[in-house]
Amino acid sequence: MSQKVFFDGAFVPQELATVSVFDHGLLYGDGVFEGIRAYGGVVFKLEEHLDRLYASAKTILLDIPYGRDEMRDIVRRTCAENGLKDAYIRLVVTRGRGDLGLDPRKCEKPTVFVIADKIALYPAELYENGMSIGTGSTRRSRAEIINPQVKSLNYLNNIMAKIEANQRGWGEVLMLSEEGFVAECSADNIFMVKQGGLVTPAPHLGILLGITRQTVLELAREAGIATLETTFTRHELWNADEVFLTGSGAEIVPVIEVDGRPIRDGKPGPVTRDIIRRFRAYAPTNGVAI
């Protein structure tokens, strides 16, 4: 059975879900998106994802042609139409079809599509054994250039960093701020464990405020684990007790080596394992039912 995609008001077979070559999402990366997970028939933190989607669209003056209630129902129905209870959902809104010029006013109406499918961002063994990452030469964009808190279709900054990770054989690539502070990875937020507490880069460093990142902070606080959002350098990261990454696609992945330096004993640590356990118990019970 062909996978069904919600495309501009209807559910169509995936081979018919095609955008125009004049769509400004394709031509210029002009649009916004969300990557969302469903666990056991529950779309995880869907309200928070919709908050970020509409906030991103407002920042780039993109009018989403569906209200929030309609969009919530579209996401749920896309999973149901494909018989998926566990899924990765990609919700995309582009500026729509325009001409070859840059002016967004030439676009007739936004294009909206939602895909629900399976995803395995990293091999299963990495969640058990941990991954090695390295620092890339591509710096994270400053907020006044392209604000990383806007989850836009313009991901070239991240892609350039990911290319370097592929070339060097790293599982992920660490991106620094322009000032040289640890910011995030190409597709994930980053945490370190120091003296039993969690430390993660502060929002002002130009990071995406990840839904999984925020969930981990909440779970840690509920468990009595201290949390701190601040600036720190690779020196602090290299000497951390534990390191892990978070993201909707990745979930929570232990990091055992950074820039060739083993993190503590080179094995996933107890705090990381505890956070993973708490997240896996929490995710299927917090969201919107399909």
28, 102 contact by CB (below 8 A): yes
CA distance 68 to 86: 23
CA distance 96 to 33: 14
Q: Is the dihedral of CA 185, 187, 47, 282 positive or negative?
A: negative
* Full 3-state SS string of 227-259: EEEECCCHHHHHCCCEEEEEECCCEEEEEEEEC
Of 4, 45, 151, 162, catalytic: 151
Non-local (6+) Cβ contacts of 154 within 8 A are 28, 29, 30, 146
CA distance 80 to 153: 26
Q: Is 151 a catalytic residue?
A: yes
259, 186 contact by CB (below 8 A): no
120, 74 contact by CB (below 8 A): no
Written as six digits, the tokens of 260 are: 């060739």
Residues with a catalytic annotation lie at: 151
